[in-house]
Amino acid sequence: MLKPLIRRWSERPRVLVLMLAVMLPASALIVASVYHLRTIQRDKAIEAVIQRDYQQVLAIAEKRIDERAYEIAEEARKQFSNVVHSDELEPFLTTHPDIAHAFLWTGKGNLAFQSQASRMTDAEFNEEGKKVSSDLGNWFDVEAKDYVSKLKRIEATEGRRVYITDHWVPRGDIWQYQTLVLFVPQGSTPEHPALSGFIYGTDYLKNTFFPQALSEVLPNQNQSNTSHPQPAIMVRTVKDHSPLAASFCWDGGPPEVERAFESVFPGLILGIKLHGTTIASISDHFVRSSFLILGALSLLLGGGMILTYRNVTRELALAKLKSDFVSNVSHELRTPLALIRLYAETLELGRLSNPGKQQEYYEIIRKESERLTSLINNILDFSRIESGKKEYSFRETDVADLVRSTLGSYRFEIEQGGFQFEQRIDNNLPHLRVDREAIARSLLNLVNNAVKYSATEKYLGVHLYRHDSSINLEVVDHGIGIAPKEQPKIFEKFYRVSDPLVHNTKGSGLGLSLVRHIVQAHGGEVVVESALGQGSKFVITLPVQNSAQQAKGVSA
C-alpha cells in the first residue's frame, strides 16, 4: 500500500518543476504588464503624452498663422508706401476691401483717418470708425514716436517693416477684437516722424482670415473620414469661450488643450480637440483594450497550462503503467513456468505410483501452459495492434457455435474451480462475418477475468442473444466488481485497478484493451455494468446488419 503512494509523490515534483518553469516567467510577465498598465492608468500618462503633442501642434499652428498675417499685412503695406498724402487713404481702402480703417499720423494732433467707404451706411460701423479715430489720435499723440523707434528696431533686427497687435473696440456692450497693423510710411524723418497703419475688423478675421489660415494649418480634412479621429482647431478671444473661428471639423464643446497667442494676436487663444472623441476616452480605450488583450493572453496561457499539465500527467501515468506492465508480465510468466517445471520434475522422478495423481499433474502442466499461451497471445496481439499490423480474417460464422465450442473446453475446469456456470445461448441466431480466433480470445479474456476477480460468490454466466439489430454476448460474474470511477479506465492499455484493497490478483492490464480493439474492429462495442462488491457484467455488442461490410472496412 505504501509503494504506490510513494511513487505518486515522487512523480509530483517532476510535474511541478515543469509547470513552474513555464508558469513562473509567464505569471511574472502578466503581473508586470498589469502593474505597468495600472501605473499608466493612474498617472494618466497617455493623456499627458497626447497633451504634449497637442501643445506642439498648437505652437506650429500659431507660427503659421503669424506668418500668414505678416504676409498679408506686408503686402498691403507695400501699396500704402506710396501714400504720402492723407487724400490717398480712400483709394487705398477701395483696393483693399478687407481692411476696415486706415490712418496716417504726421504729428501731434494730425491724424488722418479713413473708414471703408462702402460700409459707411452701417451706423454701427460709422460709430466704430469715430471711436477708433479718436482713440488712435489720443494714443499716437502720446506714443507714436515710441512706436516709430520700435518699428525701426524691428526692421533692423528682424527685417520686418510692420508691427501687428490687437485692438479692442466696443460694439454695443460687446468688445470686438480687431487687428492693428502699424508701420513707418515713406517720408517719415527723425525731425518729422510719421506713423501709419490700418485695421482689420472682426468680420474679416472671423469670416476670412482665420478660416483660411486654419485650413492651411490642417489640410486634407474631410468629414466623411470618420474611421480615424481628426484633430480640429478653433480660435477664441480671451473674453469669450465660444469660437471666433474654427477649422472644418470642429464639432463644438470645450477644447482639450489651449494655447494663448504670444506675438501677433495677443488676446486670442488657440484650442484643439479631436473630432468626435476626447483624449480621456482615447486613453481609456487604450487601457481597456490593453487589459482585454492581457486578459485574453492570460486565458490562453491558463488553457495552455492546463493542457500541458494534463498531457504531462498522462504521459507520466502511461510511463508508470508501462513499468508496472513489465513487472506484472514477468510475474505472470514466472508463475506458470515455475509450476510446469515443478510438476514436470516430480513426474520425471517417477515416484508417483498413484495414476490419479499423475493425471492431475499432467492436467496442471497443460492448464499452466495454456495460461502461458494465452498470455503470450495477448502480448503478441497487443504488439501487432500497437504497430498497426493486426489483421483480422473475417468469415461467415455461426457465433452460437463459436461460443459453445470456446466454452466447451473450459466448462469442466470452471466448474471444478467451484463456479456455478450458467450458459444460455439463443437458437436461430443469424450468422455473422467475424474473425473466429479474435472473438474467441475476447470471450476467453472476459471469462478469465470473471474467474480471476471472483471472491467467495463463484458464479459465471455467459449469455448470447439477439438484441434489436445486434447480437449481444454477455459475461456475468458475482465477483469483486469495479468502482464507477474505474470503469471508463479499465479498457485502456496497461490499466489495472491496482488498489490492493480491491484485489491482489496479478495480470498484464492488456486483456480488456484487446477485447475493445477486437470488438471495435467488428463494428461493435463493449460496455461494462458493475458495482463494487456486487459483480460485473461485460456486454459485447456485434451488429447484425451490414456486419459484413463493416468488418471489411476495418480489416482493410
Could you list the residues that contact ligand ADP (CB under 6 A)? Answer: 445, 449-450, 453, 477, 479-482, 490, 495-497, 507-513, 536
Minimum CB distance to ligand ADP smaller for 171 or for 371 = 371
* CA distances to 11, 197, 321, 393 from 317, in Å: 9, 97, 6, 34
Minimum CB distance to ligand ADP smaller for 259 or for 441 = 441
Give min distance, CB of 337 to ligand ADP, in A.
Answer: 17
Give min distance, CB of 365 to ligand ADP, in A.
Answer: 22
User: How far apart are the C-alpha atoms of 543 and 471, rounded to whole Å?
Assistant: 6
Give min distance, CB of 528 to ligand ADP, in A.
Answer: 8
Minimum CB distance to ligand ADP smaller for 340 or for 510 = 510
User: How far apart are the C-alpha atoms of 94 and 448, rounded to whole Å?
Assistant: 121
User: How far apart are the C-alpha atoms of 200 and 207, rounded to whole Å?
Assistant: 12
Q: Where are the beta strands (DSSP E) in 49-162?
A: 99-105, 111-115
Minimum CB distance to ligand ADP smaller for 136 or for 460 = 460
Kindly state the cell numbers that stand for 344: 514436470
User: How far apart are the C-alpha atoms of 279 and 231, rounded to whole Å?
Assistant: 11
Kindly state the cell numbers that stand for 287: 487601457
Minimum CB distance to ligand ADP smaller for 230 or for 449 = 449
Minimum CB distance to ligand ADP smaller for 116 or for 536 = 536
Give min distance, CB of 453 to ligand ADP, in A.
Answer: 3
Minimum CB distance to ligand ADP smaller for 276 or for 484 = 484
Closest-by-Cβ residue to ligand ADP is: 507
User: How far apart are the C-alpha atoms of 307 and 26, rounded to whole Å?
Assistant: 15
Minimum CB distance to ligand ADP smaller for 66 or for 529 = 529
CB contact at 8 A, 399 and 542: yes
Give min distance, CB of 510 to ligand ADP, in A.
Answer: 6
Minimum CB distance to ligand ADP smaller for 176 or for 508 = 508
Give min distance, CB of 411 to ligand ADP, in A.
Answer: 18
- Helix-strand-coil percent breakdown of the chain, rounded to 5? 55, 20, 30
User: How far apart are the C-alpha atoms of 530 and 476, rounded to whole Å?
Assistant: 10
Ramachandran assignment for 531, one of left (phi > 0), alpha (psi -120 to 50 degrees), beta (any other): beta
CB contact at 8 A, 217 and 61: yes
Per DSSP, 424 falls in state: E
Q: Which residues contact 17 (CB under 8 A, 6 or more apart)?
A: none
Phi, psi of 470 (to 5 degrees): -140, 170
Give min distance, CB of 296 to ligand ADP, in A.
Answer: 43
How large is the C-alpha radius of gyration of the chain? 52
Give min distance, CB of 349 to ligand ADP, in A.
Answer: 34
Give min distance, CB of 331 to ligand ADP, in A.
Answer: 11
